[in-house]
Each structure stands twice: as structure tokens, then as C-alpha cells.
């Protein structure tokens, strides 16, 4: 059955519809999925004048999304629900830009780099972060192309179901949900440990309560609360790293109170590598952990006011984050701190941060506390992001039929309430910080998400390759894409390959740890997510009795959820934009390419 609706050209550009067939002469869209065009589901509630308290209470009531044809297949139903995008579009361009630049900078960089430096040495640190950064750039470019074309709820979590198979989509969705569900309690405990730098007499559980309430308070305000909080947190983190880059150069040149030119002496003594090639392999998991969350730009696509304009710019900002904030800062850390410094592995929290150690070694007073405060802000930022990511992923699980339908509950303020509640409930595990065995518990929790990001990024690149294959199979070209990945399919191939190589390297290091004998505990604390994924995959195969390894390229749905439905008009607009940029001076063209 189809629904016909007439639009003028302006509506076709600005409206999020789900096209199946476009008739240019009548300006009508025939939509086999019964989605006659995107209508803002929140418009009916915006003019309610029932008073503040009444509107506040009504805001928690469910959002009406209309009926769905019961005859649709699982994949068609998932695509349709995602295309209706019930999440509120409250993120502005400035929010997305700052999330892209500094959103995922956290303990992986500030603290995790310390153990990585001690394990692999300064050269391993730079090599691992450069290779992982290259892979991340290609991944985010691929993600940007998909999300600009399909700004749907669930984003890349839903793309696995759409472009590969529901079985793989089930695995990756739960993989990503578990990753962020366990991050919240981990980061809350890390925040409490960070406070110990100043005061270790107060029980950690007391600080955990404070940070837990802060995260809860931010998420009450939905996507706007997340956006404003991340804008502030990211701004402070970016400012701190830029400040450290300048300070690190000064320290290296002997400008600290203790003086003494350092240069590259630590690359010669104790050396550039701590454990040779194996040390480089061991560092990859830490570098991957530090980049976790970079893909949140794609997850936020469905809640952005104008994805076509803001997402391309945001994905390009990732290059500058990788080059400036990771590579340059870690290079300075490697030349200012020897990998044999016992504080790198002998402490936890801020005391093990190579950033703090380098400032202490220079004899600068006061600044270590400032850097510690930045680390605490970074921890709060990642904790806040974990609730955002986990709640949206849980809602997407329900939309795709991978979790109970109640988990997809969206209220009239656009908040996935059940998803937020699930995330905050799991977050209560943070109170295990007061337990004597909290180290063991959190080691195994971390094992659940240890390699999750690797699978997520590899799947994003695979989805991009499948999308391009579907375009080719249907005789359509990339000229209909509002944004094309700068790295192209070559970048996605590189992303899939490097993710596979990282997994192989981690298998080797997990099976034969550096300086230790092979044992099951060390192996599963690195590789625990792999057997979980295998169980999930075969569970879904036998539960649904669908043994397809992948959906044929010609059968992939590349229309549902597209923001622009008049492809000829879209191609014309893209050509005009390219001509406009080409007419500008070279410095403007360079700026638009990188920013």
C-alpha cells in the first residue's frame, strides 16, 4: 500500500522523508513503507500552555509515532522506525563541532597514556596513536557519509542491520550498548580516585554520589543538557591540551624552574622502545580506548538540527583532534617523561598521568593540581557521554527488535527514558568502589568493553563499503550523496584491515602477555568481548533461523530515511555548491577541504 502526498521543492529539501519512488512531474512521493513524509512529532506539544508544572509532568508521557504496517519484515520495520527519528533535534552546530573536537578526550589520553608509555616506550606510543588515528579518520569519514545521507535514530548501530545482516546488527548493537553501560561506573570511580590526589581521607563512595547526581542532573534536560555540558567540558579540555602543548615545548627546552635542556635524550636513554614489536602491539588497545567515543558524532546525527551542514564539518574536525591533541601532545609526553619512571605504573588516577608527571619533573608548583582538575572534568565528560550513548543505543535495540519494546520508550521531550534509566541503574555499580574487591570487579567490567570499539569501527567501515556496493548494484552514483567520505572506499578498506590487524595483535598479546606466562585470566581480561559476540551471533541465527551471512547488495535499502528525496534537485544543489567553492580563492578551498 502507498500513500501519496504533494510537496513543493522547498519542502523536499527541508523535510526528512523516506522515499521509495519520486515522480518529478507531479512532485509526489510513493512510499511503500507508509511513511508519507517526516512530520515533527513534537510540534503538537510545543504550544501547550498548561503551566510549567503540568507541562513538566506531561513531558514524561510517551511520544506518539503513529502506526506501523505489521506486514513489514524485521529489517524494513527497523529502517522505518529509525527513519521517523523520534529523538528531538536539539543539538546545534556549535555542540556538534565541540563534541567532534574534544568529546571523547578522557582518561584514555590523560591517564592511559602513562601505562602505554611504560609498556611500549615513546616510539611505540607515537606509532600506535598515528596508525589508530589514521584508521579513526577513515572511519569517521565513512560514518559522516552514511549519517549525512541517513540521519536516522540509532545511526551506525542501525546501519549494521540495514547494510550487513540483522544477526550482525544484533551483535554490534549489544556490543556497543555493553561498552557504554560499563563505562559509566568505571568513570565515576575514576573521578573519585582523581579526588584522592588532593584528599584521600574521605571515602570514595561519597565522591561517587556527587558525580552520579551531577550526571543524573545533566541528563534530565535531555539532548540539550548533554549538548551544553559537552560544549563546556570539551572547551575546557581543548584549552588545557593546547596549554600543555605550549608548556611541554617550554619544559623540553629547559624553561621550567629546574631548567635543563631535555631534547630527545629519553629516546636514547632509556630508549625509544620498551619491549620491541610486542610492546607496540600491546599499546594498540590503549590507543583504541583513548579514541573510544569519536563515533558519537554519528550517533548524534538524528538529534542535530541540520545534519547536512553540520556533520561534514564535524567529521573533518576529527583530523585536527587526532593531529593536534593526540599526536603532538603524546610526542611531547614521550620526550619529557622516561618510560622507566616508576610513577607511570606504580599509581592510579592522576598520579599516573604522564602529563602530571612531566609538570612535576619540571618543578612547576600549582599546575599539577590544575592538570588534575582537567582530568576530573574529562572523566565527568566521558561519564556524561556514556549515558547519552548507552541510552540511545538501548532505544535503538528496541526499535530493531533486539530488546523489549519498552526500552524504546521516548517521551515528549525526546528523552529515551528507559534507556537513561537502564544506564543509570548499571551505573550504581560505581558504589563497589567502597568494596575491598572492587579492583577485580572493575577489571572484568573493563574486559567487557576492552575491544568493543575495534568491532564498532570495523563494522562502520564495512557498512560504508556495503552502501557503496548497493549504489553500484542499483546503477546509481555518488553524485547523489550530500557528503562523500574524503578517504573513499580505500579508506574504509584500510579501516577494516587495520581493525583486523589490531585484533590479531591483541590476541597474541593476550595469549602471551609481556613478561608473564600464558594464563586464562589475562587472556579473557583482554578478549572477553569476543566470545560474548560469538554467543550473541549464533543465538540470533538460531533464534530467528536466518542463516544469511549478508544481504545481497541489490536488495539493500538505500532510500528509507534519506533527508533529500528529490535526487535530481539534490544533484543540482551539490553541483552548484562545488562550483561556488571552485570559484573561491585557493585558501578558501583549502579551508573547506579540512574544515
pLDDT digits (tens, 9 = 90+) for 87-146: 667 778 788 878 777 767 887 888 888 888 998 999 999 999 999 989 989 999 999 899
CB burial class (10 A; 0-12, 13-18, 19+) of residue 473? middle
Q: Which residue ranges of the chain lie beneath pLDDT 50?
A: 1-38
SS3 411: strand
Closest by alpha carbon to 527, among 446, 438, 440, 442? 446
What is the C-alpha to C-alpha distance for residues 267 and 126, in angstroms, rounded to an integer? 12
In this predicted structure, what is the pLDDT of residue 586? Answer: 84
Q: Would you say 183 and 383 are in contact if contact means Cβ atoms under 8 Å apart?
A: yes
Q: Would you say 80 and 403 are in contact if contact means Cβ atoms under 8 Å apart?
A: no
Cβ-based neighbour number of residue 309 at 10 Å: 15
DSSP 371-439: HHHHHHHHHHHHHHHHHHHHHHHHHHHHHTTSS-GGGG--BTTS--HHHHHHHHHHHGGGGGGGSTTHH
SS3 344: helix
DSSP 442-498: HHHHHHHHTTHHHHHHHHHHHHHHHHHHHHHHTT--GGG-SS--TTHHHHHHHHHHH
Q: Would you say 427 and 385 are in contact if contact means Cβ atoms under 8 Å apart?
A: no
Q: Which residues pair with 226 in a beta bridge?
A: none
Q: How is residue 57 written as a grid cell? A: 509532568
Closest by alpha carbon to 298, among 471, 168, 104? 104
Q: Which residues pair with 62 in a beta bridge?
A: 411
What is the C-alpha to C-alpha distance for residues 88 and 40, in angstroms, rounded to an integer? 9
DSSP 191-240: HHHHHTTT--SS-HHHHHHHHHHHHHHHHHTHHHHHHHHHHHHHHHHHHH
Q: Is the dihedral of CA 61, 66, 72, 75 positive or negative?
A: negative
What is the C-alpha to C-alpha distance for residues 145 and 141, in angstroms, rounded to an integer? 6
∠ CA 83-458-231, nearest 5°, is 65
SS3 558: coil
In this predicted structure, what is the pLDDT of residue 32? Answer: 34
**Would you kindly state where each structural domain of the chain is located, as residue ranges?**
89-551
pLDDT digits (tens, 9 = 90+) for 451-479: 888 899 999 999 999 999 999 999 988 88
∠ CA 278-280-281, nearest 5°, is 65
What is the C-alpha to C-alpha distance for residues 166 and 164, in angstroms, rounded to an integer? 7
What is the C-alpha to C-alpha distance for residues 89 and 163, in angstroms, rounded to an integer? 25
The 8-class DSSP code of residue 258 comes to: T
SS3 45: helix
SS3 31: strand
pLDDT digits (tens, 9 = 90+) for 412-447: 777 888 999 999 999 888 887 666 666 677 677 777
CATH code linked to domain 89-551? 1.20.1740.10
The 8-class DSSP code of residue 63 comes to: P
Q: What element of type H or E holds 21?
A: strand 21-23
In this predicted structure, what is the pLDDT of residue 31? Answer: 36
In this predicted structure, what is the pLDDT of residue 208? Answer: 85
In this predicted structure, what is the pLDDT of residue 460? Answer: 94
∠ CA 172-112-208, nearest 5°, is 80
What is the C-alpha to C-alpha distance for residues 230 and 226, in angstroms, rounded to an integer? 6
CB burial class (10 A; 0-12, 13-18, 19+) of residue 140? buried
What is the C-alpha to C-alpha distance for residues 60 and 54, in angstroms, rounded to an integer? 11
What is the C-alpha to C-alpha distance for residues 413 and 62, in angstroms, rounded to an integer? 9
In this predicted structure, what is the pLDDT of residue 68? Answer: 66
Q: Which residues pair with 91 in a beta bridge?
A: 304
In this predicted structure, what is the pLDDT of residue 61? Answer: 63
Amino acid at each position: 500500500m502507498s500513500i501519496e502526498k504533494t510537496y513543493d521543492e522547498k519542502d523536499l529539501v527541508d523535510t526528512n522523508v523516506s522515499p521509495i519512488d519520486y515522480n518529478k512531474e507531479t512532485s509526489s512521493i510513493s512510499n511503500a513503507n507508509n511513511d508519507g513524509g517526516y512530520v515533527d512529532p513534537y510540534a503538537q506539544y510545543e504550544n501547550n500552555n498548561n503551566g510549567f508544572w503540568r507541562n513538566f509532568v506531561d513531558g514524561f508521557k510517551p511520544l506518539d509515532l503513529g502506526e506501523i504496517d505489521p506486514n513489514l519484515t524485521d529489517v524494513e520495520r527497523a529502517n522505518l522506525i529509525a527513519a521517523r527519528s523520534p529523538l528531538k533535534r536539539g543539538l546545534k552546530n556549535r555542540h556538534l563541532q565541540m563534541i567532534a573536537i574534544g568529546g571523547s578526550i578522557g582518561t584514555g589520553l590523560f591517564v592511559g597514556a602513562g601505562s602505554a608509555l611504560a609498556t611500549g616506550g615513546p616510539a611505540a606510543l607515537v606509532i600506535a596513536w598515528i596508525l589508530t588515528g589514521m584508521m579513526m579518520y577513515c572511519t569517521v569519514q565513512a560514518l559522516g557519509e552514511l549519517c549525512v545521507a541517513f540521519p536516522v535514530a540509532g545511526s551506525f548501530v542501525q546501519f549494521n542491520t540495514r547494510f550487513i545482516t540483522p544477526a550482525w546488527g544484533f551483535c554490534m548493537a549489544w556490543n556497543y550498548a555493553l561498552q557504554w553501560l560499563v563505562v559509566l561506573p568505571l568513570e565515576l570511580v575514576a573521578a573519585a580516585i582523581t579526588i584522592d590526589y588532593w584528599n584521600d581521607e574521605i571515602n570514595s563512595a561519597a565522591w561517587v554520589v556527587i558525580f552520579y547526581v551531577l550526571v543524573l542532573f545533566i541528563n534530565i534536560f535531555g539532548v540539550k543538557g548533554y549538548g551544553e555540558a559537552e560544549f563546556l567540558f570539551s572547551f575546557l579540555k581543548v584549552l588545557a591540551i593546547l596549554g600543555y602543548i605550549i608548556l611541554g615545548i617550554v619544559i623540553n627546552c629547559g624553561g621550567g624552574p629546574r631548567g635543563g635542556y631535555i631534547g630527545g635524550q629519553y629516546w636514547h636513554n632509556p630508549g625509544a622502545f620498551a619491549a620491541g614489536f610486542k610492546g607496540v602491539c600491546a599499546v594498540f588497545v590503549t590507543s583504541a580506548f583513548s579514541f573510544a567515543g569519536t563515533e558519537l558524532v554519528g550517533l548524534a546525527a538524528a538529534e542535530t538540527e541540520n545534519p547536512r551542514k553540520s556533520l561534514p564539518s564535524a567529521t573533518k574536525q576529527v583530523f585536527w583532534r587526532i593531529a593536534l591533541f593526540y599526536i603532538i601532545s603524546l610526542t611531547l609526553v614521550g620526550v619529557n617523561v622516561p618510560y622507566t619512571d616508576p610513577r607511570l605504573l606504580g599509581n592510579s588516577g592522576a598520579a599516573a598521568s604522564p602529563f602530571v608527571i612531566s609538570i612535576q619533573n619540571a618543578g612547576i608548583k600549582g599546575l599539577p593540581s590544575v592538570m588534575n582538575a582537567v582530568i576530573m572534568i574529562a572523566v565527568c565528560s566521558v561519564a556524561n557521554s556514556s549515558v547519552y550513548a548507552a541510552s540511545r543505543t538501548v532505544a535503538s535495540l528496541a526499535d530493531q527488535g533486539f530488546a523489549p519494546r519498552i526500552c524504546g520508550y521516548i517521551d515528549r521531550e525526546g528523552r529515551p527514558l528507559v534507556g537513561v534509566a537502564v544506564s543509570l541503574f548499571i551505573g550504581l555499580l560505581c558504589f563497589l568502589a567502597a568494596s575491598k574487591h572492587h579492583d577485580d570487579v572493575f577489571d572484568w567490567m573493563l574486559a567487557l568493553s576492552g575491544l568493543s570499539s575495534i568491532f564498532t569501527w570495523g563494522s562502520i567501515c564495512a557498512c560504508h563499503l556495503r552502501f557503496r556496493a548497493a549504489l553500484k548494484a542499483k546503477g546509481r552514483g555518488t553524485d547523489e550523496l550530500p557528503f562523500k567520505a574524503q578517504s573513499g572506499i580505500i579508506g574504509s578498506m584500510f579501516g577494516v584491515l587495520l581493525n583486523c590487524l589490531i585484533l590479531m595483535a591483541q590476541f597474541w598479546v593476550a595469549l602471551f602477555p609481556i613478561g608473564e606466562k600464558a594464563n586464562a585470566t589475562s587472556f579473557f581480561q583482554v578478549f572477553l568481548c569476543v566470545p560474548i559476540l560469538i554467543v550473541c551471533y549464533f543465538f540470533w541465527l538460531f533464534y530467528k533461523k536466518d542463516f544469511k551471512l549478508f544481504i545481497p547488495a541489490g536488495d539493500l535499502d538505500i532510500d528509507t530515511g534519506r533527508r533529500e528525496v528529490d535526487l535530481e534537485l539534490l544533484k543540482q544543489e551539490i553541483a552548484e555548491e562545488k562550483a561556488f567553492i571552485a570559484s573561491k580563492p585557493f585558501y578558501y578551498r583549502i579551508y573547506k577541504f579540512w574544515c
